[in-house]
């Protein structure tokens, strides 16, 4: 069961979720806002708050050392939601947790640390609108692909898939979760560029290890990468 809070407007649902963890005592908390004015993205980017889209933050007691599981679960939950409502859709996962529908990014996920042993999973889903951004990737929305739902319906379905995957990971373990994620991974075996905070590396996307970290095959051998943005080299500038 999730303790659910919905607001008309927030700066960032992640900030509100972090604030709520200061008084939390083990319950799972979900926060949404109809409008988000200061949404945060990864690497200091911003996340556009277009009305009709879903801005959701989940706060749950979670050990930092298991965060690799949350990274995979958070993206896979949305992919499996889309596969459930539109089994034929062209939807894939781009490591670490982007979901691409018809090759356009339809969501963004930001994991942050809460208080008192909580982790925060912040997810923005382009339900109605694919905001025009200055980012280098293509964007899409569920509505644009003919999937007409409102943000509350998507939130309920997302929580159901998220819970199911959390149970799956708790019962089956990380290798089984990684295997389930890999079924939908974009570009295994393809040349990629991995952008990290201070460096960029080229190689072949060789898969994920049992902790969900990226394995990059380079001329020097295999490297394990824990965080970065990947770009597929055979595509154009808009990736
Ligand atoms: C990304 O850069 O791809 C991650 C974007 C994460 C955006 C979501 S929207 C809900 C939650 N609140 C925030 O401020 N950020 C996340």
Asked if the model's pLDDT at residue 234 lies above 70, the reply is no
Asked if the model's pLDDT at residue 71 lies above 90, the reply is yes
Please compute the mean of the pLDDT values over residues 12-37 and round it to a whole number. 97
Residues 178 and 206 in one domain: no
- What pLDDT sits at residue 122? 98
Q: Whose CA is nearest to atom 7 of ligand 1?
A: 124
* Domain end position, chosen among 164, 182, 200: 182
Residues 85 and 167 in one domain: yes
Lowest mean pLDDT among 62-71, 171-180, 211-220, 226-235: 226-235
- What pLDDT sits at residue 188? 94
Could you report the per-residue pLDDT of 120-162, keeping only the tens digit for each? Answer: 999 999 999 998 776 667 899 999 999 999 999 999 999 999 9
Asked if the model's pLDDT at residue 227 lies above 70, the reply is yes
Could you report the per-residue pLDDT of 181-204, keeping only the tens digit for each? Answer: 999 999 999 999 999 988 999 999
Residues 145 and 90 in one domain: yes
Counting from 1 in the atom list of ligand 1, the atom nearest the Cα of 124 is 9
Residues 94 and 152 in one domain: yes
Half-sphere exposure of 177 (CA within 13 A, CB side): 28
Lowest mean pLDDT among 26-30, 79-83, 172-176, 233-237: 233-237
Please report which residue ranges of the chain form alpha helices under DSSP H: 13-21, 67-85, 151-172, 174-182
Evaluate the CA torsion angle 31, 32, 37, 42 in order and state its sign.
positive
High-pLDDT (> 70) share of the chain, %? 96
CA distance linking residue 31 with residue 45, whole number of Å: 21
Whether 237 maps to a domain, the answer reads no
Asked if the model's pLDDT at residue 238 lies above 90, the reply is no
Which residues are near ligand 1 (CB < 6 Å)?
12-14, 39-42, 45, 47, 55-57, 108-110, 122-124
Asked if the model's pLDDT at residue 23 lies above 80, the reply is yes
Residues 167 and 214 in one domain: no
User: How many domains does the chain divide into?
Assistant: 2
- What pLDDT sits at residue 131? 87
Residues 143 and 200 in one domain: no
Whether 126 maps to a domain, the answer reads yes
CA distance linking residue 93 with residue 123, whole number of Å: 15
CATH number, domain with residue 213: 2.30.30
Residues 201 and 173 in one domain: no
- What pLDDT sits at residue 236? 45
Query: The pTM is what?
Result: 0.94
Q: How far is CA 198 from CA 38, 113, 193, 222, in A?
A: 26, 22, 13, 19
Residues 76 and 122 in one domain: yes
Residue 73: how many CB atoms within 10 A of its CB?
23
Alpha carbon of residue 29 to chain centroid: 18
- What pLDDT sits at residue 136? 67
Give me 63's structure tokens.
């050990």
Whether 45 maps to a domain, the answer reads yes
Residues 202 and 177 in one domain: no
- What pLDDT sits at residue 45? 86
Whether 159 maps to a domain, the answer reads yes
Question: pLDDT band at 239, cuts 50/70/90?
Answer: very low
Distance in Å from the first CA to the final CA of the chain:
37
Which domain covers residue 202, as residue numbers?
A: 191-232
Residues 22 and 54 in one domain: yes
Whether 239 maps to a domain, the answer reads no
Whether 145 maps to a domain, the answer reads yes
Q: What distance separates the 2 farthest-apart alpha carbons in the chain?
A: 52
CATH number, domain with residue 124: 3.30.930.10
Residues 147 and 199 in one domain: no
Could you report the per-residue pLDDT of 95-112, keeping only the tens digit for each? Answer: 998 999 999 999 999 999
CA distance linking residue 239 with residue 192, whole number of Å: 11
- What pLDDT sits at residue 134? 62
Counting from 1 in the atom list of ligand 1, the atom nearest the Cα of 45 is 2
Residue 170: how many CB atoms within 10 A of its CB?
11
Whether 24 maps to a domain, the answer reads yes
Task: Give me ligand 1 centre to Cα 219, in Å.
Answer: 35
Residues 41 and 156 in one domain: yes
Q: Which helix (H) or strand (E) holds 44?
A: none
93, 184 in Cβ contact below 8 A? yes
Task: Give me ligand 1 centre to Cα 49, in Å.
Answer: 10
Whether 41 maps to a domain, the answer reads yes
């Amino acid at each position: 069961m999730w303790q659910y809070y919905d607001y008309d407007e927030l700066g960032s649902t992640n900030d509100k979720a972090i604030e709520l963890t200061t008084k939390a005592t083990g319950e799972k908390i979900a926060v949404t806002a109809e409008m988000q004015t200061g949404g945060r993205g990864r690497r200091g980017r911003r996340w556009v708050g277009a009305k009709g889209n879903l801005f959701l933050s989940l706060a749950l007691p979670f050990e930092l050392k298991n965060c690799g599981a949350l990274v995979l679960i958070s993206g896979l939950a949305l992919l499996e939601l889309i596969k459930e409502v539109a089994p034929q859709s062209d939807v894939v996962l781009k490591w670490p947790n982007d979901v691409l529908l018809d090759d356009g990014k339809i969501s963004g996920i930001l994991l942050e640390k809460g208080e008192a042993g909580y982790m925060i999973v912040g997810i923005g889903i382009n339900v109605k609108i694919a905001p025009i951004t200055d980012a280098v990737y293509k964007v899409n929305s569920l509505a644009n692909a003919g999937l007409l739902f409102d943000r509350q319906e998507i939130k309920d379905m997302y929580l159901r898939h998220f819970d199911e995957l959390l149970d799956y990971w708790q019962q089956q373990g990380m290798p089984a979760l990684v295997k389930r994620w890999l079924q939908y991974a974009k570009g295994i075996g393809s040349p990629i560029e991995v952008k990290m905070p201070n460096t960029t590396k080229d190689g072949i996307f060789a898969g994920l290890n049992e902790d969900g970290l990226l394995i990059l095959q380079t001329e020097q051998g295999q490297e394990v990468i824990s965080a970065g943005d990947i770009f597929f080299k055979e595509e154009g500038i808009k990736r």
